[in-house]
Amino acid sequence: MFKRLTLVPLLLLALLATGTAPAQALHRQPLRILLTNDDGYSSTYLHQLRQALQAAGHEVTVVAPAADASASGTMINARFGSTIEAAKRDDGWAVGGSPSDAVSFGTRVPFAGDLPDLVVSGPNPGENVAAAATYSGTVGAAITAVVAGVPAIALSVARDGSSVPSAARSIEFTVRLVNRLAATANGGPVLPARTALNVNYPVTPNGTVSIAHLGTSLPYGAGYTPAPEACALCYRIVPIADPGPDPVQDADRTLLAAGDVTITPLDGSWEAGSATATAIRSRLRSLAP
């Protein structure tokens, strides 16, 4: 079931309603999908999702980092004149760089002149919610797709300790989501312009899919402790968890912890809201160039 309906534009709600599109509609309108991740081309979850999407009738090309590039955000190699290594594989391309590098390469080489209908990034073992989404390579790949003019889905799955028990169910859900988007596109774009969906799948789903706000807290962060055994100037990076509640109402982090599948529409813009812009304009009105 869906909840938080007041947060959802009616068009997006119609696109994301639960259920599976008819097989005939999918056969007439399969999507051309660029599939990527931030865990590397050899990720088992990546290829399980590829197989599931292909079984649903979609055309899938993997363009993923050659190695693990987690927590790289939207980092991209824009050093003009430098080189990037990209190896052609049976099911796609392994790119020597970040997830954003992979998507940028994918839209300009394998899909040159004919962009894919959708970029899917993931599944990532570990949730990417609230402020953590800013640093996520999984989400970064989706944002890079949006900048290139391609709608995208970033999929992350909550961990239970060191395991990801709902990975298979998250893949099934993602196929249903993609199928619904394909069946309701009606010849138009898969999602509204400049839109990515940040999807997080819980450890134990409670039967609810929520359109959630992006939280502002950091569920986990980096701490630094002296590590003289490594080198005289070294500090070891250690995880710091923040179990506190997110201040945003209906935040993705809060709803995911309650067992909801959360979907947060993103547009890739870092621009502050109009009220902030108005306040800054007033304070700087007399500033001379």
137-147 and 99-108 helices cross at what angle (nearest 10)? Answer: 30
Average pLDDT estimate for 78-106: 95
Q: Hey, what are 13's tokens?
A: 């709600």
Among 96, 40, 47, 49, smallest CA distance to 68 is for 40
Residue whose tokens read 């890079």? 144
pLDDT band at 3 (very low <50, low <70, confident <90, very high): low
What is the Cα–Cα distance from 83 to 206, expressed in whole angstroms? 47
What is the Cα–Cα distance from 139 to 45, expressed in whole angstroms? 16
Could you please state the CATH topology (level 3) that the domain comprising 32-216+246-268 is classified under: Stationary-phase Survival Protein Sure Homolog; Chain: A, (3.40.1210)
Taking the model in full, what pTM does it have?
0.89
Which pLDDT score is estimated for 6? 40
Residue whose tokens read 């009105």? 285
What is the Cα–Cα distance from 13 to 21, expressed in whole angstroms? 15
Strand partners, 160: 163
Among 31, 193, 179, 196, smallest CA distance to 117 is for 31
Domain spans in the chain, listed from the N-terminal domain onward: 32-216+246-268
Q: What is the pLDDT of residues 99-145, one digit of tens each?
A: 999 999 999 999 999 999 999 999 999 999 999 999 999 999 999 99
